[in-house]
Amino acid sequence: MKKKLVLLLLFVGFIALLAACGNNGASDASNEGDSNAGEGNKDPVTINLHHWYNEEQDNWHAVIEAFEEEHPHIKVNTITTGNNNSQENREQVDITAASGGKLDVIMLSNEADLNQRVAYGMFEPLNDYIEKVGLNMEETFLVDQSIDGVYYSLPAKYSMMFVMLNKDALDEAGLDIPKEWTWDEFMEYAAALTQGEGSNKRYGTYFEWWPFYRTLALTNHEDAGYVKPDGKTSNMDHPMFRKSLEIRERGEQEGWATPHADVIGAGLNYRTEYFNQRAAMLVTGSFMVAEAGGVPGSPSEFTTAFAPIPTSVKGDPITSGGGVETISIYSGSEHKDEAFEFIYWYTTKGIHLQGKYIPATAGTDYKDIVQRLLEDSPAPEKVDIDSLVHTLEVTNVMRPLIVPYQPELDSVVQNLTDEFLLGSEDMDTTIEKVHQRVQQVIDENN
């Protein structure tokens, strides 16, 4: 009988263990809250913040400390994948939401991810909260992330697209740093900067495999998305999509861009290609500023200058579809007011204090922020600050239409243009196919 009792206990224990596995994350978080409680008069509320940055490197501890000091009734518990991999964070958030875990404040790396999840009711509408604190969204922030007039996020880290240029290579070729330029001039630069042969060849530029690099020339246009502003028609018959493919085709044929086959076949990476001087220019985003002088342990060997993203027509306004990160409140959060206090404080104050990212607030002193961004750089003297500040100042943000099924469209554009970039399909067929497929996906989702 006793043996049986032991067995039964083991059995119950086993089930309890299984049940506990599912709740680990949540109970850890609440325990932490409890142990911190009782310091103030009221028990402080603990909110969870999900992000993907390295907390040591990016000064997060100081930010959280400052916030908790100002707001003693709130404790912030950060949960990060810690590896700068926003996709991993996104998957972790999805799974936590699906399994009923505790979510309060969620950061996402771009509006497409936000939009996709807003469609499934994941995020709390913020209009009431914004009104309550009297926050003027247009005046405070450079970008508008509202969806049909409703705000689901406040803009956090600001990323614009720009061009990084190897200044040593420019000097060698006798070229100036462009203050503003067109894609045609960009291609001339790329051709002039190409040097050498074989495995030692330095290409004029490198295009990463991302879908963005297949619609480059579209970025300067009001109707730049895959979908026309009416939300129902494919935009891939846009002349600028053809222009974008022409840029890529010339890059392949004239040999000034790293061949696409090498990029995807050998799994190349834009950081290593640029910093190892295998490509002299890089169309990339302002998230690269802190690394422009190299990363700790491997300082850059050459000076990097910056130019705004090229326009398709000379004199057009310089606009870039920014990948502005979002910070939102989970619709099932139990502490929405406290969560809003945090995101409001973070986007307007905390991010400035942190000094690691370019904030999306209006009136930012770029010179100051750039200097702070380069504090940990092993070779800040290798960054041409004047051209960088100029670039940041002249670039305006433009917001193409983003739809909830954006990832599906990204995948369509990427897969169908792969055939073209690898030379197994001609341009007209590719454009026709992309246009058709995009329209099909739009129809399926409407």
Cβ proximity to another protein: between 168 and 425 the closer is 425
Cβ proximity to another protein: between 16 and 362 the closer is 16
Stretch that binds another protein, among 187-195, 279-287, 320-328, 411-419 (CB under 8 A): 411-419
- Confirm if 159 and 285 have CB atoms less than 8 A apart: yes
Distance of closest approach, residue 124 Cβ to another protein, in angstroms = 14
Report the alpha-carbon distance of residue 62 to residue 58 in Å, rounded: 9
Q: Which of 9, 12, 14, 232 binds another protein (CB under 8 A)?
A: 14
Across 251-325, the runs of DSSP E, i.e. the strands, are: 279-285, 294-295, 298-299, 304-308, 319-321
> What are the Cα distances from residue 110, in Å, to 89, 94, 355, 400?
12, 15, 20, 13
Q: Which of 50, 51, 75, 117 binds another protein (CB under 8 A)?
A: 117
> What are the Cα distances from residue 406, in Å, to 106, 237, 402, 438?
20, 18, 7, 10
Stretch that binds another protein, among 6-14, 65-73, 220-228, 344-352 (CB under 8 A): 6-14
Q: Which of 32, 88, 262, 432 binds another protein (CB under 8 A)?
A: 262
Report the alpha-carbon distance of residue 212 to residue 210 in Å, rounded: 5
Cβ proximity to another protein: between 256 and 357 the closer is 256
Structure tokens, 28? 């850890």
Cβ proximity to another protein: between 241 and 366 the closer is 241
Cβ proximity to another protein: between 54 and 414 the closer is 414
**Is residue 248 part of the contact set for another protein (CB under 8 A)?**
no
- Confirm if 323 and 402 have CB atoms less than 8 A apart: no
Cβ proximity to another protein: between 64 and 441 the closer is 441
In sequence order, what DSSP letters do the residues of 188-248 get, joined into one string?
HHHHHH-B--GGGPBEEEE--SSGGGGSGGGGGSTT-SSB-TTSSSB-TT-HHHHHHHHHH
Distance of closest approach, residue 355 Cβ to another protein, in angstroms = 33
**Is residue 15 part of the contact set for another protein (CB under 8 A)?**
yes
**Is residue 397 part of the contact set for another protein (CB under 8 A)?**
no
Q: Which of 34, 83, 85, 120 binds another protein (CB under 8 A)?
A: 120
Report the alpha-carbon distance of residue 268 to residue 282 in Å, rounded: 14
Cβ proximity to another protein: between 150 and 261 the closer is 261
**Is residue 86 part of the contact set for another protein (CB under 8 A)?**
no
What are the residue ranges of helices labelled H in 72-142? 86-98, 111-118, 127-133, 137-140
* Residues binding another protein (CB under 8 A): 1-2, 4, 7, 11, 14-15, 18, 91, 94, 97-98, 116-117, 120-122, 198-199, 259-267, 405, 407-408, 411, 414-416, 418-419, 422, 424
